[in-house]
Amino acid sequence: MDFYVYILYSDLIDRFYVGCTGSMLKERLRKHNTKHSGFTGRANDWRLMYYESFQSQSDAYNREREIKNKKSRKFIEHLILEKNG
């Protein structure tokens, strides 16, 4: 099974969200776009902007922590631009 680190973006609140999952990305995105408590529950227009796949859950989790610890919108925007060219 692959594990993913992903970055979502909401136009409605102009925010990025960084997450990690072992499930299918489309299913995870669908869940983020439903009404629920938590950060992503504030909007329902989340779009997948970036992802990386990993063979182990610990590698994916470490990468998620690395991105979040930067606390930098510019870093996230650079990742997305680099991936999407």
Instruction: Write down all domains in the chain, each with its CATH number in brackets.
Output: 3-84 (3.40.1440)
Query: What number is the average pLDDT over the span 15-33?
Result: 93
Q: What is the mean pLDDT of the chain?
A: 94
d(CA 25, CA 48): 9
* CB burial readout 53-84, b (16+ within 10 A) else e: ebeeeeebeebbeebeeeeeeeebeebeeeee
What does pTM read for this prediction?
Answer: 0.93
- Please check the confidence at residue 64 and state whether its pLDDT lies above 90: yes
- Please check the confidence at residue 71 and state whether its pLDDT lies above 80: yes
